[in-house]
A and B are shown apart, each in its own frame.
Chain A
Amino acid sequence: MNKYKEGADILDALKAVQAKKGYLSEEDICSVAKEYGRYPSEVYETATFYTMLHVGNKAEHVIEVCGSTCCDAGESAPLMAALEKELGIKAGETTEDGKWFLRRCECLGRCDTAPNVMFDGELITNARAEDVIAKIKAAK
Chain B
Amino acid sequence: MKEVRITLRNAGKINPESIEDYIKAGGYEALKKAKTIDRKALIDDIEGASKLRGRGGAGFKTGLKWSGAYGVDSDVKYVVCNADEGEPGTFKDRTIIENDPHTLIEGMLICAYCIQAKECFIYVRGEYTHCIELLRKAAADAEDKGFTDGVKVNVVGGAGSYVCGEETTLLTSLEGYRGEPRLKPPFPTVAGYLGKPTVVNNVETFATVPVIVDKGSDWFGSIGAPEYPGTKLFSLSGDVKNKGVVELPTDATLRDLVEGFGGGVREGHKIKAIQMGGGSCGFITEKELDTPLDFESMRAIGASLGSGAVLVLDETHNMAEFVKGTSHFFAHESCGKCSPCREGTSRLEEAVEDILNGGDLNKNVALINKLNDVMSMSCFCPLGQGACTPVVSALKLFPEDFKAKKEA
A binding-site residues for B, Cβ under 8 Å: 6-12, 14-15, 36, 38, 42-43, 45-46, 48-53, 67-70, 72-74, 104-114, 118
Q: Which of B174, B179, B243 contacts A50 (CB 8 A)?
A: B179
Whether the Cβ atoms of B176 and A70 lie closer than 8 Å is no
Selecting from B86-94, B221-229, B352-360, the interface stretch reads: B86-94
Least CB distance from B215 to A in Å reads: 30
Residues of B within 8 A of A69 (CB): 88-89, 275, 279, 311, 322, 325-326, 329
Known A11-B126, A68-B279; contact A73-B159, beta-carbon cutoff 8 A: no
Write the chain B residue with the least CB distance to A123: B127
Least CB distance from B128 to A in Å reads: 7
Write the chain A residue with the least CB distance to B159: A50
Known A7-B177, A50-B160, A70-B237; contact A107-B126, beta-carbon cutoff 8 A: no
Known A14-B159, A15-B159, A70-B237; contact A107-B176, beta-carbon cutoff 8 A: no
Whether the Cβ atoms of B237 and A114 lie closer than 8 Å is yes
Encode contact with A along B77-110: 1 for CB under 8 Å, 0 otherwise: 0000000011111110110000000000000000
Please give 19 more A-B residue pairs, beta carbons under 8 A apart, in addition to A51-B161, A53-B159, A108-B127: A8-B174, A8-B176, A10-B176, A11-B159, A12-B156, A43-B176, A50-B160, A51-B160, A52-B159, A68-B89, A69-B89, A70-B237, A70-B311, A73-B237, A73-B322, A107-B86, A109-B86, A111-B237, A111-B309
Whether the Cβ atoms of B332 and A106 lie closer than 8 Å is yes
Residues of B within 8 A of A105 (CB): 160
Whether the Cβ atoms of A7 and B174 lie closer than 8 Å is yes
Q: Which of B158, B279, B328 contacts A11 (CB 8 A)?
A: B158
- Between-chain CB contacts (< 8 Å), 20 pairs: A6-B194, A8-B156, A9-B176, A10-B176, A11-B126, A11-B159, A51-B160, A52-B159, A67-B325, A69-B325, A69-B329, A70-B311, A107-B88, A107-B279, A109-B86, A111-B89, A111-B235, A111-B237, A113-B243, A118-B127
Whether the Cβ atoms of A112 and B236 lie closer than 8 Å is yes
Whether the Cβ atoms of A109 and B125 lie closer than 8 Å is yes
A4–B49 Cα distance when bound, in Å, is: 45
Known A7-B175, A46-B178, A109-B128; contact A73-B239, beta-carbon cutoff 8 A: yes
Residues of A within 8 A of B30 (CB): none
A12–B126 Cα distance when bound, in Å, is: 9
A70–B128 Cα distance when bound, in Å, is: 18
Residues of B within 8 A of A36 (CB): 176
A106–B84 Cα distance when bound, in Å, is: 13
A73–B313 Cα distance when bound, in Å, is: 7
Tell me the dominant secondary structure on chain A's binding face.
helix
Interface assignment of B269: CB less than 8 Å from any CB of chain A: no
Least CB distance from A29 to B in Å reads: 12
A42–B175 Cα distance when bound, in Å, is: 12
Q: Which residues of B126-161 have CB atoms within 8 Å of chain A's CB atoms?
A: 126-128, 154, 156-161
Interface centre among B173, B236, B335 (most CB of A within 10 A): B173
Interface assignment of B270: CB less than 8 Å from any CB of chain A: no
Whether the Cβ atoms of B237 and A112 lie closer than 8 Å is yes
Interface assignment of B402: CB less than 8 Å from any CB of chain A: no
Residues of B within 8 A of A72 (CB): 322, 325
Q: Which of B91, B121, B322 contacts A112 (CB 8 A)?
A: B91
A41–B275 Cα distance when bound, in Å, is: 40
Q: Which of B127, B173, B179 contacts A109 (CB 8 A)?
A: B127
A139–B121 Cα distance when bound, in Å, is: 39
A74–B126 Cα distance when bound, in Å, is: 23
Write the chain B residue with the least CB distance to A52: B160
Interface assignment of B162: CB less than 8 Å from any CB of chain A: yes
Whether the Cβ atoms of A11 and B127 lie closer than 8 Å is no
A121–B381 Cα distance when bound, in Å, is: 31
Whether the Cβ atoms of A106 and B88 lie closer than 8 Å is yes
Residues of A within 8 A of B329 (CB): 67-69, 106
Interface assignment of B317: CB less than 8 Å from any CB of chain A: yes
Q: Which residues of B278-326 have CB atoms within 8 Å of chain A's CB atoms?
A: 279, 309, 311, 313, 317, 322, 325-326
A11–B125 Cα distance when bound, in Å, is: 11
Interface assignment of B333: CB less than 8 Å from any CB of chain A: yes
A8–B153 Cα distance when bound, in Å, is: 12
Known A69-B89, A69-B325, A72-B322; contact A109-B94, beta-carbon cutoff 8 A: yes
Residues of A within 8 A of B86 (CB): 106-107, 109
Write the chain A residue with the least CB distance to B244: A112
Whether the Cβ atoms of A111 and B275 lie closer than 8 Å is no
Least CB distance from B319 to A in Å reads: 11
Write the chain A residue with the least CB distance to B324: A72
Interface assignment of B238: CB less than 8 Å from any CB of chain A: yes
Residues of A within 8 A of B94 (CB): 109
Q: Which of A11, A50, A68 contacts B325 (CB 8 A)?
A: A68
Interface centre among A42, A45, A53, A68 (most CB of B within 10 A): A68
Known A73-B239, A112-B237; contact A38-B176, beta-carbon cutoff 8 A: yes
